[in-house]
């Protein structure tokens, strides 16, 4: 792992806070991703990449999974999310974005969409 862009020390406390206070949708998805349950792929929670903290990260696939609620449904957050995704794509990561409602109502479809991205 490239430590120059991963796990920057100044983000450590913020990452810990996010891990200790996940949204309900994040908790539900984490239960399905943790312990290599999804096709044997390892996922990490609240991984930092450059100055961003992503919800879930699969190192072997360079895959990022974001779960967003209504707080992201405004111009400022939408623009931030767009710019974050563009930057992460330029670094070679694939970013999947799901709404909280998708995780609640169609977890099986969310997991299938994630699996479709595996090499």
| In the chain, domain spans | 9-116
Q: What angle do CA 90, 14, 34 make, to 5 degrees?
A: 70
CATH number of 9-116: 3.40.960.10
2: which 2 tokens?
A: 């490239």
Q: Where are the beta strands (DSSP E) in the chain?
A: 44-49, 52-58, 63-68, 94-99
Cα dihedral 94→44→46→16 (10° resolution): -170
| Residue 30 pLDDT | 98
Chain center to CA of 3: 18
Model pTM score = 0.89
| Residue 105 pLDDT | 97
Per-residue pLDDT of the chain (119 residues; tens, 9 = 90+): 455 788 888 899 988 888 888 999 999 999 999 999 999 999 999 999 999 999 999 999 999 999 987 655 565 678 888 999 999 999 999 999 999 999 999 999 999 999 999 99
């Amino acid at each position: 792992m490239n430590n120059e862009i991963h796990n920057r020390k100044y983000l450590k406390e913020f990452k810990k806070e996010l891990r200790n206070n996940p949204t309900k949708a994040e908790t539900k998805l984490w239960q399905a991703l943790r312990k290599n349950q999804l096709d044997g792929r390892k996922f990490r929670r609240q991984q930092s990449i450059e100055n961003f903290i992503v919800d879930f990260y699969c190192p072997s696939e360079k895959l990022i999974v974001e779960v967003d609620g209504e707080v992201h449904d405004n111009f400022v957050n939408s623009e931030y999310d767009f710019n974050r995704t563009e930057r992460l794509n330029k670094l070679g990561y694939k970013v999947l974005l799901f709404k909280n409602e998708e995780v609640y109502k169609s977890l099986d479809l969310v997991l299938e969409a994630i699996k479709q991205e595996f090499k």
